[in-house]
Amino acid sequence: MSNMSAYMLSQVGDIVTGTTPNTKVENLWNGDIPFYSPADFNGDVYCGKTTRFISKKGMSVGRPIPRNSIMVTCIGSIGKMGINKTAGLTNQQINTLIPFQNFDHEYVYYLIRNSIERLINCAPQTTIPILRNGHAITSLFSEEIRCYFYVIYSTK
């Protein structure tokens, strides 16, 4: 157990906000690359199926996420989560943690999952709940709930 250390989530991986390619540009869509949205999260740890797909061109205009990234919805149905089985894009309702190589993505997923109520409670009371990237995801994950992530095993 000597390899246990305390890390803030921002030290565990990169946090990115999703983007939606322009739906009016046909050559960005209908490819074979998954486009993840909150509707694709069904409660399972791994998200393997999506309802929409983008092309390679669509992937190039977004913020790609590699497989085994941890996706968390932060607008609307806050707290829905999943790990992607395949590289792809997410829409802007999703913030994704792309874990650095020396961190186990499943372990980090469960740490976040076990703290999700606290994350949900940080959303302002508006018609559509939203956790803004600059405020909630970066600040919250980095500071407010770091005690929940105090021990994260590094595999190196």
pLDDT at 148 (0 to 100): 41
* Distance from the first to the final alpha carbon of the chain: 12
What is the CB neighbour count within 10 angstroms for residue 45? Answer: 12
* Distance (Å, whole) CA 66 – CA 68: 6
Answer yes or no: are the C-beta atoms of 48 and 128 closer than 8 Å: no
What is the CB neighbour count within 10 angstroms for residue 92? Answer: 14
Which structural domain, as residue segments, surrounds residue 138?
A: 4-153
Provide the number of structural domains found in the chain. 1
Which residue's entry shows tokens 């976040």?
112
How sure is the predictor about 65, in pLDDT bands with cuts at 50, 70 and 90?
A: very high
Residue 27 sits in a domain of what CATH number? Answer: 3.90.220.20
pLDDT at 69 (0 to 100): 97
Per-residue pLDDT of 92-102, as tens digits, reads 989 899 999 98
Q: How many residues are there in the chain?
A: 156
Per-residue pLDDT of 118-156, as tens digits, reads 777 766 655 455 555 544 444 444 443 344 444 444 444
pLDDT at 11 (0 to 100): 85
User: For residue 146, what are the CA distances in angstroms to 42, 69, 78, 150?
Assistant: 27, 19, 19, 6
Average pLDDT in the 99-127 region?
Answer: 80
